[in-house]
Structure 1
Amino acid sequence: MFPKAFIRAGIALLAGASITCAVAVVDDDLDTSEAGHIGIQSEVHDGTGIHYVKNSGICETTPGVTQISGYIDVGTNMSMWFWFFESRKSPKTAPFTLWLNGGPGCSSMNGLFQENGPCSVNADLNSTTLNPYSWNNLSNMIYIDQPIGTGFSYGTDPVYTTEEAAPFVWTAFQVLFESQLFSKYASREFIFATESYGGHYAPSFVTYFEEKNALIASGAIHAVPIAVSALMINNGWIDPHIQSIAFLTFATYAPGYGQLQPNDVLKNMSDALNSSDGCLAQEKACYAAGNSTSSNKICADADQYCIGNLLIPAVGDYDAYDLRQNSFALFPHEYYVDYLREKDVMKKIGTQVQYEECLDAPRGLFRQTGDSARTWLPQLSTLANSGMKILIWAGDTDIICNWLGVHASVLAMDWQGNQTLHNTPFTNMTINGKPVAAVQNVDNFSFARVYESGHQVPAFQPKTALEIFSQVIRKEQLHSV
């Protein structure tokens, strides 16, 4: 949610998240040219198109597995970067999964290369190693940089809020699913997976998709339905009011790891949290102000105050994303950033701009509206009430979106399973007899505290993450294997 440089410097400024296999069959209906362009005269949605490179040879080198990277035009001077990887197994029947990193303003290439993508970059900054736990073992995967200005995406960025970001991602999938390249995936199981600021993105975007689906069903608009079958949020920033409290709770006693900060720091944090003009009071004022323009300053001020007086002292000299490391954490490695800036790599994958992991520009627009201080818990509650398959999971060494705050947000959801969830004890999920997570299951909803994992669960516990992903795909409650 916030880049490491920001945490290390102690600047109270909202920022972004960084703060192998069976041979698959290639579909015959894909264009076999190395580079292509879906032009305005061929396949278009509202005057937009796709510009792409196919089978660049970068990252996914499993024989027979197709990859496509490039840009989706989602508006005038608005080019949204995507990177698609076919499933290594049964690509013609495997589900279709979207992965979004958070920020706002942090690239999903972070998730691709550091977490659950087909490869990781080696220390030489010039080569890659296949990831045996890549999620494209099981699913066709697409990674998207949004909003515009994030990662490899470029052009005009009109997005100041989570809510404003949703239509552009919806448009991106309209363009994709109406194209010859991706039309076959429109009818697949669609899994929406995200982390960190994705606790805002996911409830917003999926709610927007559902609203559009209703209009399509009624005949009010003509478009391709985007029917999300499962939703996964890893260490999400969902409800700032609840999760601000958890900064103090977690710093006082992180389960399994003990007290993180000395008593004098905890006392100052408690005062900042509970005083008449403190974090909770300011957050309540933000919630009460709603989404009017006049609420922007109220929410932005609340966000800055809570970050400066609760998050930063909770982190102290630890790495915000893994309390087992100090503020100069070395894992997960950032080798991939240099790799993506290599001119040869850029040319092969078809990017038009130099890569940046977390950019100030899109983040700054969100900061102006105080978007981080707003809650998306009501929308998440509604989705849970609909019976959608939902997994909320969190690594238990993360501080910034710590599992206590994520779990408290889940317990506060207003849905039909609320009381049952409160009365459901944690049980250990094991893999080959080893405990890997503490889980709660209520119907189609699951929560998991993943042991010995930081913010980016698939990076720290790749085997566990892949097994959990497989159970979500099969719409199973989380269980031992």
Structure 2
Amino acid sequence: MAISYRSKSSSLASKIRREAFAIQLFCLVFTHGAIVDQAARLLQFSSSRMEIQCHHQDNKVHRRSHINRATTTNISPQDGLKEADKVSELPGQPGLAVFDQYAGYVTVNSASGKALFYYFAEAAEDPSTKPLVLWLNGGPGCSSLGGAMLEIGPFFVNSDNMTLSTNNYAWNNVANMLFLESPAGVGFSYSNTTSDYNNTGDSSTATDAYTFLVNWLERFPEYKSRDFFITGESYGGHYIPQLANTILSNNKITNAPIINLKGVAIGNAYLDDNTNTRATMDYYWTHAMISRETHQAVQQHCSFNGTYTGACRTAINAANNQLGIIDPYNIYASVCWNASNPQELHGSAANTDPCSHYYIQSYLNRPEVQRALHANTTGLKQPWSDCSDIITPDNWKDAPVSMLPSIQQLISSELSTWLYSGDIDSVCPVTSTLYSLDTLGLPTNSSWRSWYSDDDQVGGYVVGYKGLVFATVRGSGHMVPTYQPRRALTLFSSFLQGKLPPE
């Protein structure tokens, strides 16, 4: 898959920067197409939500709350499918892996032919004693397999688009890691019924993910009673609480499959429409990205209560226009100017290659890679991409305005609940999570303090509330494990152990 060179011209800037009502939408455009990444997709979603509110539409489909009800789930025979899903070796893999890996499909609706793709990397050491962890990327409509290869999986794709390197801070160092591409239409997941793609939203995504889990556990029965955790980021702030509450609701039903859910952890979570927009504007100001006058105009004209006047939209657009061409994931990182020449990255922050998305897309569209992963490319409507072109904010049917009631549900269920924030992300900034915590109004059990990673550097800050832990990760953008892999692994290990990160 060729990736063309992009010149630095004024026309390029107009291609990259797209004004949005809420916050600036970035999509790095190449001559032969574009990759819409998780940040760009979330900004697109946030913008579409504000546009609905701007026009004062009583859109009950988009604004309704998800109610966690018991789900009737069909469990299908899984005999022999685990062995068929075994991945002997990925093309370009750096030697034999010391862990088993699997990939394949679980059918969640046999009538419509809806099948969800997964990739599973068992723990590198003693997998029988390690917990099972599900990772969900956000979007909506973005791939968790992409998250594996960009953030926490055992391998990264090199700039040649063909070979892999080892991730020394992979999360399967401490857990058995399961990555789910959800909903159907994302990554390698698909449906044989096209109308399924136009009837996707938070509720159906939670239902299908639950159906996936109970059938996957039939396929891998050794994990049925294992401690189970759900982690993820971004729009995972919707996916994770709703799936967790669905599991908890179904666990209460007699004769229903019991999933041994112990906790959830969400990074840079998108939790509340209005809070996120207000927090982003405040983040811009406190990080010297917009002028005092622009921030004052936003404060004067915007109430952030679900109604956005013309004067408010003008003020927000003025803020967006002052940002310039930056990476909204990480406000101090470089953007990808030339994915075919990694030498022209101009000092990428934290040695993170901003062109990595392009290497991953090229690698996962190689026929030999798709064969190794058992991907059914005949069922796909599009090549593999980081975020789906057919599951978009335009056809997303339901999403609560606020996920805080669902978070409160988890706390009330005494489920270990963690929120963490990279502190240089402007997409779902740390201020957004802090404002959401103010709304929850939880009593403090452990006072705010610094925490340290194993390199004796401050990894961030942490506070323990009654029923919830909040931690920051210092020097990290939207995708915490990408920008601060060592600190992310320390934080993740502490979460699994049920204790605050080390002092």
| CA shift for structure 1 position 332 | 6.2
Cα deviations by residue, 1:290-319 (Å, 9 ceiling, x for unpaired): xxxxxxxxxxx99x9799749845855321
Aligned mates of 1:457, 1:367 — CA distance in 2: 26
Pair 1:229-2:262 in alignment? yes
Distance in 2 between the 1:206 and 1:460 partners? 27
Structure 2 vs 1, CA of residues 472 and 73 (structure 1 numbering), >3 Å: closer, same or farther?
same
Residue 187 (structure 1) aligned with residue 225 (structure 2): yes
Specify the alignment match of 1:403 in structure 2: 430
Distance 1:72 1:315, change over 3 A: farther
Structure 2 SS opposite 1:69: strand
The partner residue of 1:449 within 472, 476, 489 is 472
Q: How far 1:203 sits from its partner (Å)?
A: 1.1
C-alpha change, 1:154 and 1:312, in structure 2 (3 Å) is farther
Indicate whether 1:260 and 2:300 are aligned. Answer: no
Note the C-alpha offset of 1:92.
1.0
Which is worse superposed, 343-352 or 8-17?
A: 8-17
2:107 pairs with one of 73, 82, 88: 73
* Correspondences of 1:260-299 after superposition (within 5 Å): 260-274=289-303, 279-282=304-307
* Stretch deviating more after TM superposition (48-57 or 394-403): 48-57
1:9 match = 18
Q: Deviations over 1:142-175 (max 9, x none)?
A: 1000010001111143543212211100000111
Task: For 2:262, give the aligned amino acid.
Answer: S
Residues 235 and 393, structure 1, Cα contact 8 Å, conserved in 2 = yes
Gaps in structure 2 of 5+ consecutive residues: 1-13, 26-35, 41-73, 338-352, 378-382
2:164 maps to 1:145: no
> Displacement of 1:368 after TM fit?
5.2
Contact between 1:60 and 1:118, CA under 8 Å: does it hold in 2?
A: no
Cα distance change of structure 1 residues 463 and 359 upon mapping to structure 2, 3 Å threshold: same
Q: Distance in 1 between matches of 2:470 and 2:238?
A: 17
Q: 1:160 aligns with which of 200, 205, 226?
A: 200
Q: Is the contact made by 2:94 and 2:165 (CA closer than 8 Å) also made in structure 1?
A: no
- For the residues of structure 2 that align with 1:190 and 1:419, how far apart are their CA atoms? 27
Give SS of 2:410's match: helix
Stretch of structure 1 that moved more, 324-333 or 388-397: 324-333
1:241-256 correspondence to structure 2 within 5 Å:
241-253=274-286
**Residues 321, 400 of structure 1: 8 Å contact kept:** yes
Instruction: Give the distance between the partners of 2:481 and 2:210, measured in 1 at CA.
Output: 26
How many pairs are equivalent?
A: 414
| Amino acid in the other structure paired with 2:228 | F
Alignment correspondent of 1:197:
235
CA distance in structure 2 between the partners assigned to 1:162 and 1:310 by the alignment: 32
- Computed over aligned residues only, the root mean square deviation of the Cα atoms, in angstroms, reads 3.1
Counterpart residue number, 2:360: 336
**Residues 323 and 195 (structure 1 numbering): CA distance in 2 closer, same or farther, change over 3 Å?**
same
Q: Which runs of 5+ in 1 are unaligned?
A: 20-43, 284-300
How far residue 62 of structure 1 moved from its aligned partner, in angstroms, is 4.7
Distance 1:358 1:165, change over 3 A: same
Identity of aligned residues (%): 25
Whole-Å Cα distance in 2 between the matches of residues 140 and 199 of structure 1? 22
Question: Contact conserved, 1:248 with 1:314, CA < 8 A, in 2?
Answer: no
Deviation string, structure 1 residues 359-383 (Cα, Å, up to 9, x no partner): 13212455454x3x61110110121
Letter paired with 2:105? Y
Deviation at 1:451, TM superposition (A): 0.7
List per-residue Cα deviations over 1:237-268 (Å, max 9, x = no partner).
01122222101210110xxxx31112343244
8 A contact 1:391–1:446 mirrored in 2: yes
SS of match in other structure, 1:103: coil
What SS class does the counterpart of residue 222 from structure 2 fall into? helix
User: Which residue of 460, 463, 467 corresponds with 2:486?
Assistant: 463
Counterpart Cα distance in 1 of 2:175 and 2:39: 25
Indicate conservation of the 8 Å contact 1:97/1:139, yes or no: yes
User: What corresponds to 1:93 in structure 2?
Assistant: 129
Q: Distance in 1 between matches of 2:135 and 2:258?
A: 19
Distance of aligned partners of 1:226 and 1:272 in 2 relative to their CA distance in 1, 3 Å threshold: farther
The answer to whether the 8 Å contact 1:209/1:227 transfers is no
Give the equivalent residue in structure 2 for 1:171.
Answer: 211
Taking a change above 3 Å as real, the CA distance of residues 444 and 374 of structure 1, as seen in their structure-2 partners, is closer
Q: Could you report, residue by residue, the CA deviation over 1:74-112 in whole angstroms, capped at 9, with x for unpaired residues?
A: 112101010011110111111000001000000002210
- Give SS of 2:419's match: strand
2:375 to 344, 351, 362: 351
Q: 1:18 to 1:57 in 2, by over 3 A?
A: farther
Please give the alpha-carbon distance, in whole angstroms, between the structure 2 residues aligned to 1:48 and 1:6: 48
**Correspondence for 2:48:** none
**In structure 2, what is the equivalent of residue 317 of structure 1?**
325
- Provide the TM-score with structure 2 as the length reference: 0.75
Alignment partner, residue 437 of structure 1: 460
Q: Deviations over 1:41-81 (max 9, x none)?
A: xxx82578958531231158554411110111111210101
Asked if the contact 1:429–1:439 (Cα under 8 Å) also holds between the matched residues in 2, the reply is: no
